[in-house]
């Protein structure tokens, strides 16, 4: 019984002591938290004050530096910087309706192409041909096509999206570029052959016209040259006949001023003229000789 009472008393004493310790610990913890908060508040306040002072000092220094830079900028000459022209962007002109019509890209062709599928090209019964590596490509179009077909292919890729899509999906995964365009032109031949033939007929007519123009130009040039030569001859004759004294000298003495050979080698014309002038005196000398001969004969008879 005494042992039980003692244990009970000891437990009560321990609980009382524990409560006192808990109260003391809570009191000390509260005081510590209060002291810590007070210290933190003081530190925060001091830090904020220092930050404001530092910011004010930095602002002051920045203002001083800006003022110095401004004074220096007003004193130094500012070089003029030439304006950089804007870089022109490459603009691809859209083909007009007349060009599309000329190369056979019509509404009928568009409607026909809309009915095509990937299988239309892939299953077309055309054997693959060996690729010609020496044939160049320009604007994604094979140059083994003729002039009209090459331009038609370029326009149809930009104007008809279905063809551009088919070509992108098929070449070169399922077929070569060469085969794709061969199949395409075989499929649309009924819609393009008329425009292709018309194009080459116009080229042929144009070539003939240029040939005729060149021939006419040569003929006109030749005629102009001949007329000019004739005019020069007429002017030469006119200038010669306008001097009557010169014509008289030519008639009497011949053209002595033409060259030196005329003076030395050909005197026949001049001698003939003198013979004509002295023809009468020659007859008179013959009569005198006859009279003298008759007189001599009479003297001999006596």
pLDDT digits (tens, 9 = 90+) for 5-25: 777 788 888 888 888 888 888
For residue 197, give Cα distances in angstroms to 50, 87, 192, 283.
Answer: 92, 43, 9, 97
Spatial separation of the C-alpha atoms in residues 188 and 104, rounded to whole Å: 10
Q: What is the pLDDT of residue 9?
A: 83
Q: What is the pLDDT of residue 163?
A: 95
Nearest to 157 by CA among 148, 167, 172: 167
Statement: residue 96 has pLDDT above 80: yes
Statement: residue 277 has pLDDT above 50: no
Q: What is the pLDDT of residues 124-151, one digit of tens each?
A: 998 766 555 444 554 445 557 999 999 9
Two structure tokens written together for 194: 């008329």
Confidence band, pLDDT 50/70/90 cuts, at residue 35: confident
Q: What is the pLDDT of residues 160-176, one digit of tens each?
A: 999 999 999 999 988 99
Asked if 117 and 169 count as a contact pair (C-beta separation under 8 A), the reply is no
Q: What is the pLDDT of residue 57?
A: 86
Asked if 152 and 194 count as a contact pair (C-beta separation under 8 A), the reply is no
Q: What is the pLDDT of residue 93?
A: 64
Torsion-angle region of 15 (φ positive above 0: left; ψ -120 to 50: alpha; else: beta): alpha
Q: What is the pLDDT of residues 210-219, one digit of tens each?
A: 999 888 888 8
Nearest to 185 by CA among 152, 224, 226, 218: 152
Asked if 157 and 138 count as a contact pair (C-beta separation under 8 A), the reply is no
Statement: residue 270 has pLDDT above 50: no
Q: What is the pLDDT of residue 241?
A: 53
Contacts of 45 (CB under 8 A, 6+ apart): none
State the number of CA atoms in the 13 A half-sphere of 245 facing the CB.
0
Q: pTM of the prediction?
A: 0.43
How confident is the model over 296-300, as a mean pLDDT? 61
Q: What is the pLDDT of residue 90?
A: 46
Share the mean pLDDT of the chain. 75
Comparing 50 with 132, the larger pLDDT belongs to 50
């Amino acid at each position: 019984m005494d042992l039980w009472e003692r244990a009970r008393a000891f437990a009560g004493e321990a609980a009382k002591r524990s409560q006192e310790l808990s109260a003391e610990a809570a009191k000390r913890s509260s005081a510590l938290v209060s002291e810590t908060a007070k210290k933190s508040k003081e530190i925060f306040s001091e830090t904020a004050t220092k930050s404001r002072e530092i910011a004010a000092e930095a602002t002051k220094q920045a203002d001083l530096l800006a003022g110095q830079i401004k004074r220096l900028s007003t004193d130094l000459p500012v070089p003029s910087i030439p304006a950089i022209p804007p870089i022109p962007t490459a603009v691809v002109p859209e083909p007009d309706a007349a060009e599309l019509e000329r190369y056979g890209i019509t509404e009928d062709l568009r409607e026909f192409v809309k009915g095509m599928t990937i299988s239309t090209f892939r299953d077309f019964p055309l054997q693959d041909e060996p690729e010609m590596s020496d044939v160049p490509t320009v604007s994604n179009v094979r140059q083994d096509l003729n002039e009209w077909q090459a331009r038609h292919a370029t326009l149809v890729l930009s104007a008809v999206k279905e063809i551009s899509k088919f070509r992108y999906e098929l070449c070169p995964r399922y077929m070569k570029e060469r085969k794709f365009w061969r199949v395409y032109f075989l499929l649309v031949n009924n819609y393009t052959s008329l425009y292709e033939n018309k194009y080459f007929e116009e080229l042929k007519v144009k070539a003939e016209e240029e040939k005729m123009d060149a021939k006419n130009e040569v003929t006109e040039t030749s005629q102009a040259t001949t007329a000019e030569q004739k005019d020069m001859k007429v002017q030469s004759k006119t200038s010669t006949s306008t001097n009557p004294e010169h014509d008289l000298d030519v008639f009497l003495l011949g053209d002595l001023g033409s060259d030196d050979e005329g003076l030395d080698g050909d005197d026949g014309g001049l001698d003939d003229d003198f013979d004509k002038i002295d023809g009468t005196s020659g007859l008179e000398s013959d009569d005198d000789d006859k009279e003298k001969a008759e007189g001599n004969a009479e003297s001999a008879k006596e």
